Amino acid sequence: MNIILTENRWLVVVGAIMIQLALGAIYAWSVFTKIITDPSGLYQFSAREAALIFSAGLATFAFVMILAGRLQALYGPRKIAILGGILLGAGYMMGGFFGSTFFMQFLFIGVFGGAGIGFAYVVPIAVGVKWFPDKKGMITGLAVAGFGFGATIWVKMADSWFGGLLNTVSLFDLSNVQSVFLIYGIIFTALVLLGSLVMVNPPEGYVPAGWSTHSNEHTQGESMNLSSYEMLRTHQFYLIWMTFIFSALSGLMVIYCIRLFGTDALAYHNVNNPGLVAGTAMAWYAIFNGLGRIVWGVVSDKIGRRITIIILTAIQGIIMFMVYHVFIVYASEFGFIISASIIGFNFGGNFALFPAITADYFGNKNVGTNYGWVFSAYGIAGIVGPYLAGYFKDSAQSTTDPSVWMVPFIIAGVSCIMGSIIMVKCKPIVLKNKIKNIKNNPVFSSTN
């Protein structure tokens, strides 16, 4: 397989996209929230319970990545990707058969499904960076773009394509939600297993034809590969980690509440078919989420990862302040879809930029393990962001006034601006002439 990939390393990207298409399932959660929170429906979950299932998936996903990074270094990336695919598929299939209660959906969709995503997610990133050290921003963007595009596919398949699976399918006398879980579990398993076939590391010392390393902010990691133990003793790690928390919190809050907020706001302004419009906005959010991963990754290869993150988080903060106030005053179908698309585009960029800056600052060799630690920020954001939205919604459940969403959007905007400010202070660890001195420092005395 190494010989085949050496001749055409882009096959790694194809496999990565297949895996990430399945993993994007977690971003499709909003398509189920309206049904499971219907007070007269089968499930009758509260908004907070629906948020907790989503948060469990995000948090498990993030913290399992730390373990997955270590395991893929020990046992090889392909085996860990396969493990992730089996866990993800089994979680959704079990959620299909047994997910009639909050606890069972929390366990199978949230915990099992989230763990499967965590094991599989790190593999395409770690493998891709090693095969493409010359295009880290672009390749991490492409590798994870499938995550955003996958969410679009699963939302539209459940909601509207060919009548929508939620409207047309009932397997084994299961409800519509559980039937879709079962179908998706089978599809997710197949996609990840196929993509894992090309998840192998390049030969030791591999360098792309016509490329040589050069020392600057983008490639200093080529000369300095820090272990996780060493990375965790740098202030740069904590600055990157905090920025990721603040940036991800806003995007994850919107992913959870976009359909609920959109339905409330559009209905308040008497827009026709508010639920359908909100579902369309979800799909465009996911499409632009995928595009943002590629575009921001390419931009960062040109102007630098740190500068790109500063710009992205600042723009996202401004948009968060605007989207609530402007939309509530000038509500329209077109305006809501545009707002959702911009937020998705910016949020998607995080998932190209943070793995790339992890490789830039701490090295390519241990990027799978190191990014697991950085990505734990996403787990924290995944708990706080959706819970904020669910809390404020539940606290005002007696009213349909969309003003209940104002505080969560303000919090999200402030958090993005804080992330931008923090990143201004996050300079590269070393200059080219100081690498040896840093490595000889007692702080970095542990072995890789």
What is the domain extent for residue 78?
Answer: 10-204+219-440
Residue 4 domain flag: no
Give per-residue pLDDT as tens, 193-241.
999 999 998 887 777 776 665 544 454 444 578 888 999 999 999 999 9
Q: Which of 138, 388, 350, 342 minimizes the C-alpha distance to 244?
A: 350
What's the pLDDT tens digit per position in 108-135?
999 999 999 999 998 998 898 888 887 8
Residue 329 belongs to some domain of the structure: yes
- Does residue 420 fall inside a structural domain? yes
pLDDT at 420 over 50: yes
- 388 vs 43, more confident: 43
What's the confidence (pLDDT) of residue 156? 85
Count Cα neighbours of 152 within 13 Å in the Cβ-side half-sphere: 18
More confident of the two residues 81 and 272: 81
The count of domains in the chain is 1
pLDDT mean over 45-69: 88
Average pLDDT over residues 409-426: 91
Cα dihedral sign, 182-187-192-193: positive
Residue 1 included in any domain: no
Residue 326 lies in a domain: yes
The model carries a pTM of: 0.75
Whether 241 maps to a domain, the answer reads: yes
Q: What is the pLDDT of residue 395?
A: 66
198: domain CATH number is 1.20.1250.20
Other CB atoms within 10 Å distance of the CB of residue 298: 17
Instruction: Establish if 129 belongs to a structural domain.
Output: yes
Percentage of the chain exceeding pLDDT 70: 86
Residue 387 pLDDT level (bands cut at 50, 70, 90): confident
Contact of 57 with 113, CB cutoff 8 Å: yes
Question: Looking at the domain assignment, is residue 166 inside a domain?
Answer: yes
Residue 193 to residues 23, 64, 119, 250, Cα–Cα distance (Å): 12, 19, 13, 32
- Average pLDDT in the chain: 83
Residue 430 pLDDT exceeds 80: no
Q: Contact at 8 Å (CB) between 367 and 234? A: no
- The per-residue pLDDT for 400 is 61
Dihedral sign of CA atoms 317, 284, 99, 50 in order? positive
Lowest mean pLDDT, pick from 55-64, 217-226, 285-294, 297-306? 217-226
Q: Which of 18-32, 195-209, 379-393 has the lowest mean pLDDT?
A: 379-393
